[in-house]
Amino acid sequence: MGEELRIYERPTLERPVLIGAFRGWSDGGQAATLATGYLARLWNAEKFADIDPELFVDFQSTRPQVSLEEGRTRRIDWPENAFFRARVPGTSRDAVLLVGVEPNYRWRTFSDLVTDLARDLGVELVVMLGALLADVPHTRPSPVTGAATDPQLVDELGLQLSRYEGPTGIVGVLLDACRRSAIPSVSLWAAVPHYVSLAPSPRAARALCERLAEVLAIDLDVDELEEAETTYVEQVSEAVASDAETAAYVEELEHRADSLDWLEESGGLPSGEALAAEIARFLRERERNGGKEPGGRGG
């Protein structure tokens, strides 16, 4: 493994699963990183390694943050891709949680660092979480699609065999690296309303956590996310009601969601054209926000 991977304490793990999410294009409404961060806190996860951002992150687009310690000492917090370990409650297995920011450079090197660590730790399954902006209403449950490239894994977990062709992000590159390294891997994607992309979506985060629980056959407490989801729906509904055109559009989406299954209508995973359009929308929003990622995260 390269020197860029900094391991502070090498853990001994039992039947580990790696669960990861990255801020950026694959994190609409911050749902994926919100879900993974929630798991880290729920499971009392402990950090044991990270990847040095120096060779992978453009600090002009994803800037370090300055904070004050005790109101006096200035500290620089650098963009981070960190690994945490935790025991999955009620099971005999451990989890490795990867939470960070999509790298700007050297994606193949970055992915090799992750897969090398996964092999070294004996990871049995990699589950990547993502969220995409879509034509779905905030008042209905967030649809979640799951995909894998291994037909046997598709059958075992009740997922789809990915037929997507088109632009991809670090999640797609990392899953390809897992495939080449013979590490079973899947991706779970939640749909987030595109008209409210700047607000963190606990609804989509809960949907991801619940689908993850099904894949891993575990019990998962999502009460806190459900409470946040109620507030989220109320606040978004209030904002939508103040604009007649947006309110009419959301009502149309609600009728569509109630009359047709969203996944059947969209064909499951997003089309290449839809994904390319979303990339363009993401970049436009980022430019309008002065280099900050949609969702309000500092760029």
pLDDT reported for residue 151: 81
Identify whether 297 is part of a domain: no
**Average pLDDT over all residues of the chain:** 85
C-alpha distances out from residue 25 to 107, 141, 152, 282, Å? 14, 22, 29, 7
Q: If you ran DSSP here, which 8-state letter would residue 4 be given? A: T
- Residue 97 within a domain: yes
Task: Indicate which CATH number applies to the domain containing 236.
Answer: 3.40.50.10900
Q: Is the pTM of this model over 0.95?
A: no
Axis-axis angle for helices 223-241, 31-42 (nearest 10)? 150
Which tens digits make up the pLDDT trace of 254-276? 888 877 554 454 444 444 444 44
Domain that holds residue 162: 5-288
Q: Is residue 274 part of a domain?
A: yes
Listed as ranges, residues in the chain with pLDDT below 70 are 1-2, 161-162, 260-299
Structure confidence at residue 298 (pLDDT)? 36
**292, 286 Cβ separation under 8 angstroms:** yes
How many domains does the chain fold into? 1
In a domain, 115, yes or no: yes
What is the pLDDT, as a whole number, of residue 288?
Answer: 63
Q: What is the pLDDT of residue 118?
A: 97
Whether residue 283 is contained in a domain is answered as yes
User: Would you say residue 251 lies in a domain?
Assistant: yes
* 105 in any annotated domain: yes
